[in-house]
Amino acid sequence: MIQEGTPAPDFELASDDGERVRLSSLRGKPVVLYFYPKDDTPGCTTQACGIRDVYGELRARGAVVLGISPDDEASHERFKTKYQLPFTLLADPQHEVAERYGVWVEKTNYGKTYMGVERSTFVIDAEGDVAQVMRRVKPDTHAAQVLEALPA
């Protein structure tokens, strides 16, 4: 389990534009690292569009936003284009990063149990440490929570 005040586990993943993104290369800036289950589903769309709508304020606070799901780069590119998302989406199809961050969990839906991503966010400070952990976030209030977690 990732704890506040500890170094954020480093990783490198492919982005929606095919580039590789390494978390440690973003040191010097706060990072909003949010995990979501699936592109273009109702809850994930609400969450992503909420972040899109406050993106200017997040950038004004110096933050880099990274969304991670098990979807591939092509799915991310379609999702990003469809909803005009101005931030980077990262592909974690083998859910390795989700597992490292403790968000690949057993879930139950309509009586069926399966493994999937728990909607969670990690605010990482400019030094690379986890400043805040938000587990099981609600899509419609997530953006406001993220803004509260970042210094103005």
Portion of the chain with pLDDT greater than 90, in percent: 87
Map out the domains of the chain as residue ranges: 12-149
Query: pLDDT at residue 22 above 90?
Result: yes
- Indicate if 49 belongs to the active site: no
Q: What is the mean pLDDT of the chain?
A: 94
Which among 145, 147, 126 has a CA at the least distance from the CA of 26? 126
| Catalytic site residue from 31, 44, 51, 150 | 44
| CATH number corresponding to 12-149 | 3.40.30.10
Residues 85/78, Cβ–Cβ less than 8 Å: no
Average pLDDT over residues 29-56: 95
Grade residue 32 by pLDDT with cuts at 50, 70 and 90.
very high
